[in-house]
Structure 1
Amino acid sequence: MPAEPPERDTSADEAQRWHSTTYGKPRRGSARPAAQTPGREQRLAELQRPDPHRDQYRDQPRDQHRDLDEGGAPPAERPRTPAPRPARARRPHVRRRRVLAVVAVLVVLAVTYPVALAWRGWSSVDQIAAASTGERPAATPGTTYLVVGSDSRDGLSPEEIAEYSAGGADISGQRTDTIMLLHVPDGGGPAALISVPRDSWVPIPGHGKNKINAAFAIGGAPLLMETVEQVSGLRIDHYVETGFGGFAQIVNAVGGVTMCPAKAVDDVRAGLNIAAGCQQMDGKTALGYARYRYTDVQGDFGRVQRQRELLGAITSKAASPSTLLNPFRAFPLASAGGSAVTVDDDSSLTDLVGFLRGMRAATGTGGISMTVPVSDPNYRTGHGIAVKWDTEKALAMFTDLKNDDTEALRSLVA
């Protein structure tokens, strides 16, 4: 019987293996075989192996790549917030359409606003038969307007008569406080505004010699136009008239006017009591300023000069941008101005606009403002004290107007 091999002392082997380890861990080469570490060639092969997910998620946000590297779910399986779209630039043709729309609106307003304003004024204007019924001079170049300020009280209430100091024993009938000629030349010369003194001594067709305002009292606008045409040889194209109340309404409609009297005025008949110096005048005050003459040392000559100054201030204020571009002032002014004016029945809206432009030009810095030349302001007649013209100078003035040579009038301006 073969002898059995002696038993091996396993305790000594275990102790030897324990003490030969680090921190009680088996050392390399122990009895339990470890997994073989991959070699350098194998690791390079793994790195070079194509990753099926690399190209798919190359453009994904960085945090999704990190999730994938850290073992999270693939980005395709996680909810993704869409990135905000960048603001799209406005298309050039859209901007162009909007600019054209704005321009079109401005053009429409630029055309319709003045037309509506002019029509508002024209619709309020009264028209009368004012043309001369007698023999008339031949047509002359340029456009000549006969401008009349009537002192008729027709249409005024008792309160308005008292307000404007228009009472008295002679309130019946019609008279003229103002007679002017406005000539607008065709040749581009200066517009001329010429005052005709109301007491001018002239022949009145069919009524002998008298003061010129008697023609208006006798035969109204037609006889006055005939008288002016016969004495001047000038063809009158249009007639424009305003009265007491109308004049005051126009001044109030423009918001008042600034006038600068050199002296204080206290005139009971005109209802005027003002201090010297520049001041704002309302309609009532401006009317009195235009009417008074008894306390003026120049009498009617001082009055006609103030009337031209007032007309210049009114037209300048009415034509200012602050008035015309403000519809809350422009439309009431057009309505008040239209209702205050009476024109001949041959006039049109174009003629009225031409009158307003001519009045503004004549009273401006380049215009001509004058009175018919006079030789005797205290000419005694059978009808009282009248004004006698300087025949030679007056005829020269009318000849210049008939020739449309308004520039030549400057030599006659005092």
Structure 2
Amino acid sequence: MRLAPRPSTRCVAVATTLLLLAGCSSGSGSGSASSRPAPTSSVPSSAAAAPVQVKGAPAELAALVARVYTGADLGGAASRTAAAALEARQPSTGRVTGTATTGTWRGQQVAVVTVGRDVTLAVAAKPGAWRVVGGWWPSLDVPRPSLGSGPRWVLALGSDARRGQPLDHTRADTIQVVGTDGRGGAGLMGMARDLWVPLATGGRGKINSAMALGGVRAQLRTVRNVTGLPIEGYVVIGFTGFKKVVDAQGGIPIVIPRTVDASHAGIVIRKGPQTLTGAQALAYARERKTLPDGDFGRSRHQGELLLAAAVKARLAGPGAIPSAMSTVSRYARTDLDGERMLTFLARFYRVNPAKVGRGVAQGGFGWAGGQSIVLLGPQARSLFADFADGNLS
């Protein structure tokens, strides 16, 4: 079953999948989530180069951005792909004024610098050691963005770990594959938890049991094997983290199409426009027993929440990414480094709204070992094949 997102928000629904699972920031996007905004940094111009000012940037980052705009050699201060993209740039001859926002990801500093329609993505593996890892620079006549090559996919997981349980060795309550084709298309694919599949740990079982049996990397390998998609990494978060980040962003404004009795949580979510708290959003995302289509309806609810959160993300723009990444780092676990995560998220601000889709991998019902299961059938396999280019449009 393919559910088409609403045109006004679908261009960022996929981008916010990971951020919603770990708290997409609804703030202005300026400054780090954990530090005071940095002052404006200025870099003197040479005789032929324009003066460069970057508000909110540490001095080392401002100096690096100045090298980008004056045409100076970047040396080792750029990734291979970013250096290749910037090699033929035309240096700016006018005054350059930009704004930097910073955050952290797995102990790495990350930054987004905007100059008009230009965006520079940078990462520092250690304090002060900034490196350009991607971006897009139309003002410098760079023809294409540098955001990693070809299709890319990331696995977003919600863990059902309770207090005292390991986040990454319990069942996966949410399994979503987020993808982008690198040419303006993207997709979000939910997977029913009860899909009966071969597990990376051996034997067959429900797809969400792989993490409980072998850890989050076993869950990643299982989803890779089942879908045939070379998913590059994962982000996993638990219930408590989800609730905290939703509350931290002031809740999620949404229009509920029909009243839902989230019996497992003792919460009734009324039909109509409202702003969900963290507890309400989690209940809405997890309820399935009272829904006529069970787990498939649950996946649909998750998509509705993502679409609602997308409105805030779209208004905030790329500068909000570092703050959101900081929030993710506080509550989630991942195997993606700062460069891969930053460039992956930034891809979704280059997406064509007409080339984004959503789907849920589902199938018929069956029984195995006395438990109800979902059989992996033609619908799911067709969806996997459709997603092989990173696009579900």
What's the TM-score once normalised by structure 1's chain length? 0.56
Q: Any idea what SS the aligned residue of 2:385 has?
A: helix
CA contact (8 A) 1:147 1:240 kept: yes
Match of 1:349 among 338, 343, 349: 338
- Aligned-residue RMSD, C-alpha: 3.5
CA contact (8 A) 2:153 2:180 kept: yes
C-alpha deviation, 1:301, in angstroms: 0.6
* Cross-structure match for 1:379: 366
C-alpha deviation, 1:266, in angstroms: 2.3
CA contact (8 A) 2:184 2:355 kept: no
Is residue 369 of structure 1 aligned with residue 358 of structure 2? Answer: yes
Q: Distance in 2 between matches of 1:114 and 1:341?
A: 28
C-alpha deviation, 1:339, in angstroms: 0.9
Q: Distance in 2 between matches of 1:312 and 1:108?
A: 31
Match of 2:176 among 170, 174, 180: 180
Return the letter of the residue paired with 1:394: A
Q: Any idea what SS the aligned residue of 2:268 has?
A: strand
The CA deviation string for residues 110-134 of structure 1, in whole angstroms up to 9 with x for no partner, is 77697552x3355499xxxxxxxxx
Q: Give the % identical residues.
A: 31
* Cross-structure match for 1:339: 330
Structure 2 CA distance for partners of 1:198 and 1:369, relative to 1, 3 Å: same
Structure 2 CA distance for partners of 1:299 and 1:366, relative to 1, 3 Å: same
What are the within-5 Å matches in structure 2 for residues 80-229 of structure 1? 107-109=54-56, 116-117=101-102, 119-120=103-104, 123=107, 141-154=150-163, 174-186=170-182, 188-229=183-224
The CA deviation string for residues 312-332 of structure 1, in whole angstroms up to 9 with x for no partner, is 33343245239967xxxx987
The CA deviation string for residues 278-320 of structure 1, in whole angstroms up to 9 with x for no partner, is 1011211111111111111111111111112212333432452
CA contact (8 A) 1:152 1:243 kept: yes
Structure 2 CA distance for partners of 1:332 and 1:368, relative to 1, 3 Å: closer
Larger radius of gyration: 1
Q: Any idea what SS the aligned residue of 1:269 has?
A: coil
C-alpha deviation, 1:153, in angstroms: 1.7
Q: Distance in 1 between matches of 2:233 and 2:104?
A: 21
Return the letter of the residue paired with 2:255: C
Is residue 296 of structure 1 aligned with residue 282 of structure 2? Answer: no
CA contact (8 A) 2:180 2:390 kept: no
Structure 2 CA distance for partners of 1:195 and 1:287, relative to 1, 3 Å: same
Q: Distance in 2 between matches of 1:321 and 1:173?
A: 34
* Cross-structure match for 1:310: 305
CA contact (8 A) 1:312 1:360 kept: no
Structure 2 CA distance for partners of 1:309 and 1:364, relative to 1, 3 Å: farther
Is residue 396 of structure 1 aligned with residue 392 of structure 2? Answer: no
* Cross-structure match for 2:235: 240
C-alpha deviation, 1:246, in angstroms: 1.5
C-alpha deviation, 1:267, in angstroms: 2.3
C-alpha deviation, 1:360, in angstroms: 7.2
- Aligned pairs, how many? 267
Structure 2 CA distance for partners of 1:262 and 1:363, relative to 1, 3 Å: farther
CA contact (8 A) 2:211 2:218 kept: yes
CA contact (8 A) 2:169 2:211 kept: no
Greater RCO (CA < 8 Å, at least 6 residues apart): 2
Q: Distance in 2 between matches of 1:337 and 1:249?
A: 11
